[in-house]
Structure 1
Amino acid sequence: VTLKMDTLLKEAKESIEAAQNYRSELQLRLHGLSQARTQVQGSSCQAREALRRHFLELQAAVTRLLSERLTTLLSEVDTIEAESVKPLDECQSLIEHGVSQADELLREGEAALHCVPGEDKLGTFNKKAMHIQLDSLPEVPALVDVPCVAAQVDNSLLVLLRDQVSRHGSIFSQPPVQIEELQERPGGIMVRWCKSCDSSPQVFHTCQFVHVTRSHHSSSLRWAQEFRHRDPSVYYIYFSNFQVQIFRYSPVLVLNLTTQWCPGTEGYVLSSRRNIALRHDSSQTKCQVLYSKAPTYYCGQTLTFKISAAGQMDRKDSLGVCVDNKKGEESLQRDQAVCVSSNGAVTVNGKEMTNHLPAITTGSSVTFDMEVVNLLPQSDGSGLKLRVTIGSGNREVVFDWLVDQATTDCLFFGCSFVHTGWKVLVF
């Protein structure tokens, strides 16, 4: 009996566990259905809004074009009318002047006929009549010789518009391109995609601007959207909470979103995108470290410093990464930082290594790669050992770097140059 009860109890527990798993799977599927419904309804709302906005703008543009064309045609009518009426007005003025002269001559003639005998008014009248040239009449143009303004319009434009409008715009149940790969990069993301349906040859594809942030308390990325000037005539791709505008086709694109130098550091001038730093006049400026705008370097990524221009070398020069952005430091050759000097020396936590890399010159590229090795116990908590690989030219230096666990979620990158003329691109 006991064995039978144990068997029944075991079967019951197994059934309960199976039911729990079954319920969990069903809940996951419900969540998946909810996401699918959200995608369908959300994309449909955005598609409707894009269509309404586009056609409203199109209507306004067509109305404006028709109004401009009407104004042009009315102006042409006004010009023809003015040019044609001018000679008619001149002829009318001439005829009206002749009528006035004839009226005056008639009054003088009537007065001469009734004058007192002996007055010479008849002779004066006859002389005046001879000078007026009563047998000369102005020529009035025939109706066939003057313009007859007419407006000619037809329905050809309407037919053309009806044909074009009936084929304007397309609706797809799937986006025209499909995201194949998202790969995290230093301060950015590499996006790889391919065409998933036939689209117009006039449609080009590219990625729209998007602002990306990362949580300091999670090893996974958290996306924050900030979209600008969305064009309703182009396509959009949606995946998770990340949106990409398709406008110019390129199968691979790197979104360099947060790899920027921090502005306001004395002694350095930044490009408009803040990814290029130039060490300018140092006569009145103390050498100091230029840090990244934020701690945007993470293990598993490749950070690259590209030297666009080189100045005079100094042993305090440095390119590298660090766990903090201490102000007032003259170099990254300090604790909790790894760096390369312009002469190729590699420094870890302020101590120079035996192995050197080639000296940094114009055109040099210095790369940093890091991966987590393991956790190590420390008196004040756990530490983390990172495997660091620094490459320059055709040489590499590999070493282990111990940092505090609390600071490894994100690292700053930085540079410092004593002399002017150094220009560094970071990506």
Structure 2
Amino acid sequence: MSVEVDVLLQEAKESIEAAQNYRSELQQRLQSLNQARKQVRGSSGQARETLRRHFAELQAAAGRLLTERLANLLAEVDVIEADSIKPLDECQCLIEHGVGQADELLREGEAALRCGLGEKEDKLGSFTKKALHIQLDSLPEVPALVDVPCVSAQLDDSLLGLLRERVSRHGAVSSHPPVQIDELQERPGSVLVRWCKVDEDFAAADFRLQYRRSGSGGAGGSGGSQFEDAYIGRDCEFLVLHLDPHTDYLFRVSARGEGRTEWSPWSVPQTGYTTLVAHEWRSGTDGYILSSRRNIALRNDSSQSRCPVLYSNAPTYFCGQTLTFKISAAGQMDRRDSLGVCIDSEKGEESLQRDQAVCISTKGAVFVNGKEMTNQLPAVTVGSSVTFDMEVVNLFPIGTGGNFKLRVTIGSGNREVVFDWLVDQAVDCLFFGCSFVHSGWKVLVF
């Protein structure tokens, strides 16, 4: 076979492979397009159902309110009518009784006039006496029409106008939620969620982040557990802790406008996960009690003169990450107190203020390989967060000492210090630790 044929065969194989890759890419884009179409169709159907249900509930509620109001007004009319008719009925009874007495008296008077002379005198005397007893000159008083109620109904026609104006502005339809998740960043046993506004006209007062374990229903499905609140506040990022590694979680965020009580529609759920195991303190260290997840340590026994260092369970801090110590309770300060990272976890050490370690004391002093720096950070108190960020500056020995360099940033309060840390060997993962002389200190690591 000639060289030209070999070249043609090679070109044909490359073209076939390129065509296969091209077809695969197009098929993936078709899948993404179908997902986008499904999202548009599905969200539109959900919006229609939400609108129909909401307005049906409003119509039913408005009907009930109008019916109740009509019944109350009719009851008021009934009460006024009953209270006003009662004295009129009593007056009528009195008049009808007087009419009856007058009819009877007329009959007796006519009979007395028709009787014979022998009994006329007795009859006329009895009639006259009875007439005087009835008091024919006394008439009951009948109230004038202006003095009796004339019931009317006052109806404000502006209600319909107000209702029309409010209904015309009630509800809104938008093509996108006002906020969307911008980034999901894996952290040890957690995911850092960042979000941003996509509607600049929406004045957000608070944000609400929710998450749940992802199920077979997918990002828009109903599988998995129920969403639960992770954060409500004004920040645009939050670290969701206590997540299982290699497990998909769904995250969504909404916003609440200034002066409003209702929340905006949810953002499109985003799937995130972490491959990093959670930071844990090492169990079995004298003088410390750990939480069930071993991410919180409490210094509980300072009766002994020694102040053992509590190390991490493993070297789980990797360069390029942020390590955070959160102080939730504080005891008495001591210059030997320390929070920091180290290359090894030697037993018997009483502080991280030693070689092969960088740390900060509770008084704010920074130590590098056991030597105190001139730069000072704020003292560590209840609520303080101390962060460590590291990046590799070089991977090759510098000079003749075989040293490697890590750039370290320690933050506390609103201040931070940055310095280069020389270590004897190339490292990409470190232990972390703490030591407190006095009891009462409680620290969360993440």
Same fold (TM over 0.5): yes
1:195 equivalenced with 2:207 (yes/no) = no
Please tell me whether the aligned partners of residues 328 and 443 of structure 2 are also in contact (alpha carbons under 8 angstroms).
yes
Work out which of the residue numbers 379, 384, 401 in structure 2 matches 1:360: 379
Alpha-carbon separation, structure 2, partners of 1:181 and 1:101: 101
Distance in 1 (CA, whole Å) between partners of 2:111 and 2:410 is 124
Q: Distance in 2 between matches of 1:278 and 1:101?
A: 104
1:136 aligns with 2:104: no
Q: Is the 8 A contact 1:313 1:419 kept in 2?
A: no
Match of 2:265 in 1: 235
Q: CA RMSD in A?
A: 6.1
1:216 to 239, 245, 260: 245
Q: Give the C-alpha shift of residue 210 in structure 1.
A: 0.3
Written as runs of structure 1 = structure 2, the 5 A alignment for 1:324-339 is none
Partners of 2:317 and 2:122 in 1: CA distance: 121
C-alpha change, 1:84 and 1:400, in structure 2 (3 Å) is farther
Query: Counterpart in 1 of 2:171?
Result: 169
Q: Which residue is equivalent to 2:388?
A: 369
Matched residue type, 1:391: G
Shift of 1:128: 5.0
1:177 CA displacement: 5.2
Match of 1:264 in 2: none
Q: Is the 8 A contact 1:210 1:225 kept in 2?
A: yes
> What secondary structure sits across from 2:194 in the alignment?
strand
AA at the equivalent of 2:173:
I
Query: Aligned with 1:94: secondary structure?
Result: helix
Q: Distance in 2 between matches of 1:343 and 1:227?
A: 39
Mapped contact 1:302–1:367 kept (Cα < 8 A): no
SS of aligned partner of 2:389:
strand
| Alpha-carbon distance between aligned partners in 1 of 2:168 and 2:54, rounded to the nearest angstrom | 15
The Cα of 1:19 is off from its aligned counterpart by: 0.9
- % identical aligned pairs: 58
The answer on whether the counterparts of 2:408 and 2:418 sit within 8 Å (CA) in structure 1 is no
Q: Does the CA-based 8 Å contact 1:300-1:369 persist in structure 2? A: no
- Distance change (3 Å), C-alpha of 1:417 and 1:96: farther
Aligned residues of 1:318 and 1:417 also touching (Cα < 8 A):
no
- 1:146: which partner in 2? 148
TM-score normalised to structure 2 length: 0.57
Q: Supply the distance in 1 between the matched residues of 2:102 and 2:336 (Cα, whole angstroms).
A: 111
Gaps of 5+ in 1: 243-257, 260-266, 269-275, 324-330, 376-384
How many angstroms apart in 1 are the aligned matches of 2:100 and 2:438? 100
Aligned residue number for residue 248 of structure 1: none
Greater mean deviation of Cα atoms: 178-187 or 105-114: 105-114
Contact 2:178 2:197 in 1 (8 A): no
Give the one of 410, 426, 436 matched to 1:390. 410
What TM-score do the two structures reach when normalised by structure 1? 0.59
Seen in structure 2, the aligned counterparts of structure 1 residues 337 and 65 have a Cα distance that, compared at 3 Å, is farther
- The equivalent residue for 1:26 is 26
CA displacement at 1:40 relative to structure 2 = 0.9
Alignment of 1:258-277 (within 5 A): none
Quote how far apart the aligned CAs of 1:5 are: 1.8
Describe the shift of the 1:366–1:164 C-alpha distance in structure 2 as closer, same or farther (beyond 3 A).
Answer: closer
Change (3 A) 1:33 1:76: same
How far apart are 1:151 and its partner, in Å? Answer: 3.8
Determine the C-alpha separation between the residues in 2 that align with 1:346 and 1:5.
71
8 Å contact from structure 1 (residues 304, 365) kept in 2: no
Q: Distance in 2 between matches of 1:86 and 1:289?
A: 94
Letter in 2 for 1:61: A
**Relative to 1, partners in 2 of residues 1:358 and 1:207: Cα closer, same or farther, differing over 3 Å?**
closer
List per-residue Cα deviations over 1:57-100 (Å, max 9, x = no partner).
32233223313422332233134223422431342343355457
Secondary structure of the 1:210 match is strand
Match of residue 47 from structure 1: 47
In structure 2, relative to structure 1, the CA distance for the partners of 1:146 and 1:354 (3 Å cut) is same
Work out the CA distance in 2 between the residues paired with 1:21 and 1:368: 45
Corresponding residue SS for 2:208: coil
| Inter-partner Cα distance in structure 2 for 1:9 and 1:27 | 27
Distance 1:162 1:241 in 2: 43
State the 1:48 CA deviation.
2.1
CA deviation profile, 1:353-374 (whole Å, cap 9, x unmatched) = 3236557255895531334649
Q: 1:13-58 CA distances to partner (integer Å, 9 max, x unpaired)?
A: 1211211221122122112212211221232133123213321332
The 5 A counterparts of 1:44-193 are 44-96=44-96, 98=98, 126-127=128-129, 129-143=131-145, 145-151=147-153, 157-158=159-160, 161-162=163-164, 164-166=166-168, 168-176=170-178, 188-193=192-197
The question of whether the paired residues in 1 share the 8 Å contact of 2:327 and 2:381 is answered with yes
CA contact (8 A) 2:363 2:380 kept: no
Q: Is the 8 A contact 1:391 1:397 kept in 2?
A: no
